Structure 1
Amino acid sequence: MEVLVRLVALLVVLLLGTGLRAIGVLTAGRTARLNAVAYYVALPALIVVSTYDRAIDDLLSPALLGGLLVVLFGTAGLAWVVHRGRESNGRRSVAIVQSYHSNLGYLGLPLVAATFDGAVTAIASVVLGVVSLMQVPLTILVLTSLNGAEAAVGDELRSLLTNPVLASLLVGLSIGSVGLAVPGPVVAGLDAVGSLALPLALLCVGASLRVDLPSIDVGATAAVVALKIGCMPMLAWVVFSALAVDPATFAASVVMLGTPTAVSTYVFASELGGDTAFASLNVFATTVASIGTLFVLIELVG
């Protein structure tokens, strides 16, 4: 019951962001500033405080890395087959990308941190880093190859490698691996700032959700929802069960890979020739539907 109440509260905050945008409170500029605080301050603080006391060898195992590779590319391959008949390259490329590209930073990690203990949160931080390094280049490759768009791939990869989420993960893991002592007040401060990551991120996501009614393709959107928040976590469950990983790794991987489509896929679609109205609809649909599926996943692994 506690998990259900928490997820309903998340939905309320998400819809609050949508409502504040609709009445003009969360303008584009204000949302951008709020987004910057979440991305450059709150989320990195959460990652550091989750990993600073753990060695990288305890978190990143061959089983975790191999399992993430299998689930990500397995889902992407299935999405390619399911969506191969879409009527346009712009819509087909977006459907494929949004079937595997997860909202790990703005929803996954903060949700895990609010629901599970420190061991699960630490592994979820590693999942965030590893999967981000894989899914962003894959998304750029799919969109550019299907749409014939040109992208400064080198710039995109440099941006990925220098983003604050990965940088904070490296800082946290480095501190944990060498055994540096972090003063208690610093940890408490980081913990307080990190606790803001989830509500800030939800407000930003809610403010970015839009539905263009004329663009609705029920069948295509339903397929994206089924693959992203249905098939992907199910595949993760099967793969990590077969790998016999520890409970913390299992819980972190399944819940993180069960998150909805990332809002950033809309940005990639707009820059690289994708169907942006369709992309926006899918972000909305997977995000709202994931409240129910994440509840089920958390109950099953928790």
Structure 2
Amino acid sequence: MEVVGRLLALLVVLLLGTGLRSSGLLDGGRTAALNAVAYYAALPALIFVSTYDQPIAGLLSPALLAGLLIVLFGTAAIAWVVHRNRKTQARRSVAVVQSYHSNIGYLGLPLVAATFDAEVTAIASVILGVVTLTQLPLTILLLSTINGADVSLASELRGLATNPVLLSLIGGLAIGTIGVPFPATAATGLEYLGALALPLALLCVGASLEVDLPSIDPGATGSVVALKIGCMPVLAWVVFSLLRVDPATFTASVVMLGTPTAVSTFVFATELGGDAEFASLNVFTTTLASIATLFVLIALVG
């Protein structure tokens, strides 16, 4: 019942964000401000306090790295085959990337931190770094290649050097590996700040969700939903079972890879010639449907 209560609370906050946007109280400017607090403060704080007291060798194992890459590229390959006959290149490109590009930052890590213990959260923070470094370049490459968009992959990769999520992960892992003492008072303050990551992220996601009824393609959207929150976590379950990873790694991996399509895919689709309306619909649909599928995953692994 505790898991049900948590996920229902997530749904309430998500829909609250949508309602506040519809009423005009959470307009573009306020949403951007909340997004900045979540992205540049709350989420990095959560990542740092999850990793600063543990060495990287205990968190990033060869099996974890191999499993993440197998699941990510495996799902992308399946999506390429499933969506090969979409009616336009713009829609095909979006369908492929949204079938594997997970919302591990705004939803995955905060959800894991609110549901599981510190060990699982620390591994989930490392998963966030590895998957971000992999799925972001892959998404940009696929969208720009399929749609013929002019984009500099090198400049996008350089932007990762100033990514606050990755910088906080590197900082936390460095301190944990070296063994430098970190002030308890500062750690407590960061824990309180990190606790804001999930509600702020859900409000921002809810405020960005839009559905344009005339653009609905049930077959295409249904395939994206099935691949993202159905096939991908099942593949993760199989792969990490075969790799015989420890329970904390298994739990973090399956839940993180079972998250819905990231909101950022809508932004990338808009900038790189993808079907933006279709992208928005898929983010909305996978996010709402994931409330049920994440409950199943958490109940199974928990």
Pairwise TM-score range, normalised by the shorter structure = over 0.9
Amino acid of the residue matched to residue 232 of structure 2?
M
Q: 1:32-111, aligned counterparts within 5 Å?
A: 32-111=32-111
Matching residue of 2:283: 283
Amino acid of the residue matched to residue 169 of structure 2?
L
TM superposition outliers: structure 1 runs of 4+ over 2 Å = none
Amino acid of the residue matched to residue 122 of structure 1?
A
Amino acid of the residue matched to residue 19 of structure 1?
G
Distance 1:76 1:29 in 2: 34
Cα distance, 1:174 vs structure 2: 0.4
Distance 1:188 1:246 in 2: 28
Matching residue of 2:185: 185
Matching residue of 1:296: 296
Distance 2:274 2:117 in 1: 39
Amino acid of the residue matched to residue 300 of structure 1?
L
Amino acid of the residue matched to residue 20 of structure 1?
L
RMSD: 0.5
Distance 1:256 1:161 in 2: 23
Greater shift after overlay, 147-156 or 204-213? 147-156
Cα distance, 1:184 vs structure 2: 1.1
Identity among equivalent pairs (%): 74
Distance 2:159 2:283 in 1: 23
Matching residue of 2:115: 115
Amino acid of the residue matched to residue 120 of structure 1?
V
Write the deviation string for residues 171-198 of structure 1: whole angstroms up to 9, x where unpaired.
0000000011111111110000000000
Distance 1:146 1:59 in 2: 36
Matching residue of 1:7: 7
Matching residue of 1:135: 135
Cα distance, 1:23 vs structure 2: 0.3
Cα distance, 1:110 vs structure 2: 0.1
> Gaps (5+ residues) in structure 1?
none
Write the deviation string for residues 197-255 of structure 1: whole angstroms up to 9, x where unpaired.
00000000000000010000000000000000000000000000000000000000000
Q: Secondary structure at the match of 2:149?
A: coil
Cα distance, 1:161 vs structure 2: 2.9
Amino acid of the residue matched to residue 45 of structure 2?
A
Write the deviation string for residues 55-106 of structure 1: whole angstroms up to 9, x where unpaired.
0000000000000000000000000000001000000000000000000100
Matching residue of 1:21: 21
Amino acid of the residue matched to residue 209 of structure 1?
L
Q: 1:219-258, aligned counterparts within 5 Å?
A: 219-258=219-258
TM-score by length of 1: 1.00
Write the deviation string for residues 121-178 of structure 1: whole angstroms up to 9, x where unpaired.
0000000000000000100111011100011212111112320000000000000000
Q: When the two structures are aligned, how many residues end up with a matched partner?
A: 302
Q: 1:194-209, aligned counterparts within 5 Å?
A: 194-209=194-209
Distance 1:266 1:161 in 2: 22
Distance 1:62 1:179 in 2: 22
Alignment of 1:158 onto 2:146: no
Cα distance, 1:47 vs structure 2: 0.3
Amino acid of the residue matched to residue 168 of structure 1?
S
TM-score by length of 2: 1.00
Distance 1:49 1:189 in 2: 10
Q: Secondary structure at the match of 2:29?
A: helix
Distance 1:160 1:144 in 2: 18
Distance 1:201 1:87 in 2: 33
Distance 2:257 2:242 in 1: 16
Distance 2:232 2:141 in 1: 20
Cα distance, 1:20 vs structure 2: 0.2
